[in-house]
């Protein structure tokens, strides 16, 4: 499956390259995802290889391949690879490997920790943690920009994991300027985040990568992000 598109920079500028997260709009041009308003897709894992930043006005080809898929009782798990190349060369600009589940039945989610929405007055930020504030209005703007009408966001008020990762990267990049030169992201979506939940980030920087974890106020790990600065094998 292939689609050709001309890249347009998102209206909201960022201190770190976030092209891969706005390519969600391209995903929804492919037939398996055009019915996203009828099915709930839940992210599990994502790997991003960023070889180059996309250039505004340049035309690219996006190729989507199904790597594997298995059906379970209540959901179907799929793993896809999206490869973006320039139409004037065979060079790869971005590769995104995504694992997600598709719910077979109508999805209803309650916050797994009822206290996360009720501890704001007593919660104190752990030492060296970075607060992560996300406004739901910004979430809706992003979802419309990338044509994401997954009912899990619009009907169940579950935050899109990609948007949380974007905001986390921006927060950390404002303190660690080397982060903008990342080449690879390994992301694990561990815990759903509900609208208006308070979040914070713990960061551990190594020589060749930065390890980030997004927590809710119940100190549950929600998203794990490993940022690498050199290329290696998937």
CA 155 to chain CA mean position, Å: 19
pTM for the whole thing?
A: 0.88
Per the domain annotation, does 233 fall within a domain? no
What would the two tokens of residue 193 be?
């985040």
Nearest to 48 by CA among 24, 69, 78, 30: 24
b/e map of 5-43 (b: 16 or more CB within 10 Å)? bebeeeeeeeebbbbbbbbbebbbebeebeebeebbbbb
Query: Which has the higher per-residue pLDDT, 148 or 165?
Result: 165
pLDDT, tens digit, 9 for 90 and up, residues 21-34: 999 889 888 877 76
Rounded to an integer, the average pLDDT of 99-115 is 63
For residue 115, what is the DSSP state?
Answer: G
Can you give the residue range of the structural domain that contains 153? Answer: 2-105+114-228
- What is the CATH number for 200? 3.10.129.10
| Structural domain count, the chain | 1
pLDDT, tens digit, 9 for 90 and up, residues 2-50: 999 999 988 666 778 899 999 988 988 887 776 555 667 889 999 999 9
Determine the 3-state secondary structure of 155 from DSSP. Answer: coil
Per the domain annotation, does 30 fall within a domain? yes
Per the domain annotation, does 96 fall within a domain? yes
- For residue 113, the model assigns a pLDDT of 47
Per the domain annotation, does 7 fall within a domain? yes
Per the domain annotation, does 55 fall within a domain? yes
- For residue 37, the model assigns a pLDDT of 54
Per the domain annotation, does 209 fall within a domain? yes
- For residue 112, the model assigns a pLDDT of 47
Sequence length of the chain is 234
Measured distance CA(69)–CA(79) in Å, rounded: 6
Per the domain annotation, does 130 fall within a domain? yes
- For residue 106, the model assigns a pLDDT of 60
Per the domain annotation, does 198 fall within a domain? yes
């Amino acid at each position: 499956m292939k689609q050709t598109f001309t890249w347009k920079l998102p209206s909201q500028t960022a201190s770190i390259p976030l092209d891969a997260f706005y390519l969600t709009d391209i995903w929804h041009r492919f037939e398996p995802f055009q019915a996203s308003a009828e099915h709930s897709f839940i992210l599990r894992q994502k790997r991003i290889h960023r070889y180059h930043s996309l250039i505004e006005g340049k035309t690219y080809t996006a190729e989507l391949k199904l790597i594997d898929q298995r059906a379970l009782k209540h959901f179907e798990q799929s793993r896809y690879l999206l490869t973006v190349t320039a139409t004037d060369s065979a060079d790869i600009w971005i590769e995104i490997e995504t694992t997600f589940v598709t719910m077979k039945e109508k999805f209803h989610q309650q916050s797994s920790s009822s206290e996360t929405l009720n501890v704001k007055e007593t919660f104190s930020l752990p030492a060296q943690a970075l607060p992560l504030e996300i406004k739901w209005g910004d979430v809706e703007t992003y979802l419309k920009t990338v044509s994401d009408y997954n009912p899990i966001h619009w009907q169940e008020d579950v935050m899109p994991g990609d948007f949380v990762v974007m905001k986390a990267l921006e927060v950390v990049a404002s303190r660690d300027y080397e982060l903008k030169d990342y080449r690879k992201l390994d992301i694990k979506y561990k815990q759903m985040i509900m609208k208006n939940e308070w979040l914070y980030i713990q960061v551990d920087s190594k020589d060749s990568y930065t390890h980030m974890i997004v927590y809710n106020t119940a100190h549950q790990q929600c998203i794990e992000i490993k940022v690498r600065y050199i290329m290696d094998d998937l």
